[in-house]
Structure 1
Amino acid sequence: MKLRIQHHTTYRYTWPVLYSIQHVRLTPQQDIKQRILDWKIRTPAKHHSACDHHGNAVHTFSVNQQHRELTVQSHGHVEIDSLDDGYTPHQSFSLHPLVYTPTTQLTQFNDEMREFASFVADTHIPFAHRILTLAHAVADRVVYTKGSTTVADSAMQAFENGQGVCQDHSHVMLACLRAHGIPARYVSGYFFNPNVEQHDSHAWVEVFDENRQQWLGVDATHKSLVQGNHCRLAVAKDFTGASPIRGIRTGGGQETLDVQVTIERVG
């Protein structure tokens, strides 16, 4: 499947920003199942391109003059093949899976969450079945409710409140898996739904299958394994390291954010 993707992000501020630096992770991953045909990123200042320790492409720029608006655009074409039962291809660049085992501030767990996911440690149950069952349980426990959380909310908060969005589903999944010592990582990207015109950024998780020595993608929000409708942007321990745009600023006052994502199938 060939997709045309456009991602338009604009920050607006109530007072002038004196200085800002932004890290942009809006370049799709590239492997034998996901191929970039063309891709461009536009930033308000010249950007520097590099690869972070997770293997993500990162574009960094800074704005040294006063501004009350900042826009980042990315667009291009990506060709995506369905994964083999949700498993990603073997990667030439990859950190050791144990890097994704410790909890983070956003993926801490409590005893209730450990017990909630206790079945994931039962090796008598096929691995993919365990992980997909957990995805269903998380989606039922944390009801998808747009606008119910912020990017600063943790897995324990979403689990306790019983509502959230894809980011929260992913953080709860990570917390539950890490509670049982299973390596799992956060994935940012896009989910193509042919029945809608306006899309959003999306998030899911990848869980390391020790027997296959591969990562298994699972989307709790859609209660499914990752197949041909997902476009991977970045991986990290949680949202913080995989956020499409993340930075710091001096000044600016209150911030408003406008994000527009359009995805079209063109082949």
Structure 2
Amino acid sequence: MKLHIEHHTEYTYSWPVIYSIQHIRLTPFKLPNQKVLKWEISTPAKASHTLDHFGNKVTHFTVNQSHQRLEVTSRGVVELTPLVGGYLHDQADPVNPLVFSGATPLTVYTPDMAQFSSFVADSHIPFEARMLALANAVADRVQYKTGSTTVAHTAADAFENGEGVCQDHAHLMLACLRAHGFCARYVSGYRFSEHAPEHASHAWVDVYNPDKQAWLSVDATHRCLADEFHCRLAVARDFTGASPVRGVRSGGGEERMKVGVQISGI
């Protein structure tokens, strides 16, 4: 499966921004099952590139002149092949999986959440079956509803309110897994569907299987293991460290963001 992806982000401000710094995580990983055939990121100022401590490629740029509009566009072609059983093999991780075992402010778990997911600790059930059962439980508990939450909402918020988006599914699954001692990380990226009227950034979870010493990639929103339709951009302990576009600014007043994602199979 070859995908042509274009991701356009536009910020507009009610007052001029004097100075801004942006950090962009919009470059797909190079993996055995994910080949980046071509990729470019267009920014309004000269950019530099680094790897963060999770191994994500980060594009940085600074705009130090007055502006009321800022645009970032990433585009390219990625070739994806199926994962074997949802596992990421032959991946050199820059950090120990234990880094992903502790709760974060967005993934703090409650006793009710731990009880809700208690079955995931039953080692008599095959690992993959437990993770898919949790994905289904999370999707049942939190009904998908566009615009029902913001990036500031936590796993506990989604659990109590019963609605959210893919980011909330991922955060709730992370909270449940960490409540029972699993190492699990947030994944940002895209999922292609020929039948989707429009596409958007997506989020799912990797959970570490110590018996196989490999990460199992699970999509709670679609109740499945990751496959050749999932394109990976970044991993982190939660959304905060994997946000596609993140920055700070001086001035600007009210901010509005418009995001458009186009994905086509070629």
Using the size of structure 2 for normalisation, the TM-score is 0.99
**Residue in 2 that maps onto 1:121:** 121
**Residue in 1 that maps onto 2:7:** 7
**Residue in 2 that maps onto 1:173:** 173
**Residue in 2 that maps onto 1:107:** 107
Instruction: Summarize deviations over 1:157-204 as a string: whole Å, max 9, x none.
Output: 111000000000000000000001100000000000111242100000
Tell me the C-alpha RMSD between the 2 structures. 0.7
Distance 2:86 2:39 in 1: 25
Distance 2:135 2:100 in 1: 18
**Residue in 1 that maps onto 2:239:** 239
Distance 1:221 1:139 in 2: 6
Distance 1:92 1:136 in 2: 29
**Residue in 1 that maps onto 2:215:** 215
Q: Which moved more, 1:85-94 or 1:218-227?
A: 85-94
Q: Which moved more, 1:91-100 or 1:110-119?
A: 91-100
Distance 1:197 1:50 in 2: 34
Alignment of structure 1 residues 1-40 onto 2, 5 Å: 1-40=1-40
- Tell me which amino acid in the other structure corresponds to 2:230: H
Instruction: Summarize deviations over 1:126-173 as a string: whole Å, max 9, x none.
Output: 001000000000000000010000001000011100000000000000
Alignment of structure 1 residues 88-237 onto 2, 5 Å: 88-237=88-237
Q: Contact 2:219/2:225 (CA < 8 Å) preserved in 1? A: yes
Secondary structure class of the residue paired with 2:173: helix
- Tell me which amino acid in the other structure corresponds to 2:102: P
**Residue in 1 that maps onto 2:73:** 73
Distance 2:171 2:93 in 1: 24
Deviation at 1:71, TM superposition (A): 0.3
**Residue in 1 that maps onto 2:56:** 56
Secondary structure class of the residue paired with 1:82: coil
Q: Contact 2:32/2:90 (CA < 8 Å) preserved in 1? A: no
Deviation at 1:94, TM superposition (A): 3.0
Q: Contact 1:31/1:89 (CA < 8 Å) preserved in 2? A: no
- Tell me which amino acid in the other structure corresponds to 2:182: I
Distance 2:54 2:99 in 1: 10
Distance 1:109 1:198 in 2: 33
Distance 2:230 2:198 in 1: 16
- Tell me which amino acid in the other structure corresponds to 2:18: L
Q: Contact 1:197/1:262 (CA < 8 Å) preserved in 2? A: no
Alignment gaps of 5+ in structure 2: none
The share of aligned pairs that are identical, in percent, is: 58
- Tell me which amino acid in the other structure corresponds to 2:162: G
Instruction: Summarize deviations over 1:235-257 as a string: whole Å, max 9, x none.
Output: 00000000000111111111111
Distance 2:92 2:188 in 1: 20
Distance 1:93 1:162 in 2: 34
Q: Contact 1:197/1:263 (CA < 8 Å) preserved in 2? A: no
- Tell me which amino acid in the other structure corresponds to 1:53: H
**Residue in 1 that maps onto 2:262:** 262
